[in-house]
């Protein structure tokens, strides 16, 4: 059996998330249907993660298996792009070792969240607009607190089926890009709704409603009810997933 990684991106506005759902169109469903059309049999794929409804991905990776080696992978990617809707793109398809796993072998994932305080009629669908002033210096100080913890129960969606709420955060901070402020966070794994809950709580710091010490106490409480409200998904992007080099065929 031959295994392949698909590098892809999508605008999540019109999808009920990544994972196949019984009552909504998803990104995984669209790609599996396109592969089945081209390869003439069902081809299940496994994604690096499960983005929620409305969340975007500039870079998502998924893997699939095929019995025979596929000779022309660029041509397969091109044919997939012709079949897929305009809000999904296949960047490339690459061979990997048979044991490589798009989800379990990922060493880090990086998300970005976009916030602005300025009204913009051309970018509102991809940025979360806040009213009033935000103290981004205080928000960046609060970000440093994240590195002191591994248990992020306070930022996890309740009643999930994960065995642990431990994550290792490698990077977290806000940077300004024109009129938009971008929160970038990288970790070895993320919990359901984690990034949106972190951003919502950091915005409480930015508005002066929560101190940096209060932000620390939110994490220490290990209680989702202590954290801020989750921000909307339309301004959240998965932007990178990394893997060990030895997974790729030379």
Which residues are part of the catalytic machinery? 52
Domain 109-239 has CATH 3.30.70.660: yes
Alpha carbon distance 4, 64 (integer Å): 6
Q: In a 10 Å sphere around its CB, with 0-12 CB exposed, 13-18 middle and 19+ buried, how is residue 74 labelled?
A: exposed
The yes-or-no answer to whether 2-104 and 109-239 have a common fold is: yes
The pLDDT assigned to 23 comes to 87
Domain 2-104 has CATH 3.30.230.10: no
The pLDDT assigned to 157 comes to 83
In the chain, which stretches have pLDDT less than 50? none
> Is 113 a known ligand-binding residue?
no
The pLDDT assigned to 44 comes to 96
Expressed in angstroms, the distance from the first to the final Cα of the chain is 17
What's phi and psi for 230, nearest 5 deg? -65, 135
The pLDDT assigned to 234 comes to 96
- Summarised one tens digit per residue, pLDDT across range 81-94 is 999 999 999 999 99
Q: Is 135 left (phi over 0), alpha (psi -120 to 50) or beta?
A: beta
Domain ranges of the chain: 2-104, 109-239
The pLDDT assigned to 162 comes to 74
């Amino acid at each position: 059996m031959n295994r392949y990684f698909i590098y892809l991106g999508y605008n999540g506005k019109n999808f009920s998330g990544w994972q196949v759902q019984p009552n909504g169109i998803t990104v995984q469903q669209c790609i599996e249907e396109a592969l089945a059309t081209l390869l003439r049999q069902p081809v299940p794929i496994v994604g690096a993660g499960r983005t929620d409804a409305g969340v975007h991905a500039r870079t998502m990776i998924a893997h699939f298996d095929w019995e025979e080696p596929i000779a022309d992978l660029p041509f397969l990617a091109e044919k997939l792009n012709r079949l897929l809707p305009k809000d999904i793109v296949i960047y490339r398809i690459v061979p990997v070792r048979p044991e490589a796993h798009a989800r379990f072998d990922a060493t880090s994932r990086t998300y970005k969240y976009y916030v602005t305080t300025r009204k913009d009629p051309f970018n509102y669908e991809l940025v979360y607009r806040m009213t009033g002033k935000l103290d981004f210096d205080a928000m960046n100080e609060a970000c440093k607190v994240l590195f002191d913890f591994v248990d992020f129960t306070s930022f996890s969606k309740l009643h999930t089926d994960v065995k642990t709420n431990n994550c290792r955060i490698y990077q977290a901070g806000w940077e300004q890009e024109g009129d938009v402020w971008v929160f970038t966070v990288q970790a070895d794994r993320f919990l359901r709704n984690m990034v949106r809950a972190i951003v919502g709580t950091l915005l409480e710091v930015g508005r002066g409603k929560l101190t940096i010490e209060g932000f620390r106490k939110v994490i220490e409480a290990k209680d989702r009810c202590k954290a801020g409200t989750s921000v909307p998904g339309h301004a959240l992007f998965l932007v990178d997933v990394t893997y060990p080099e030895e997974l790729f065929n030379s």
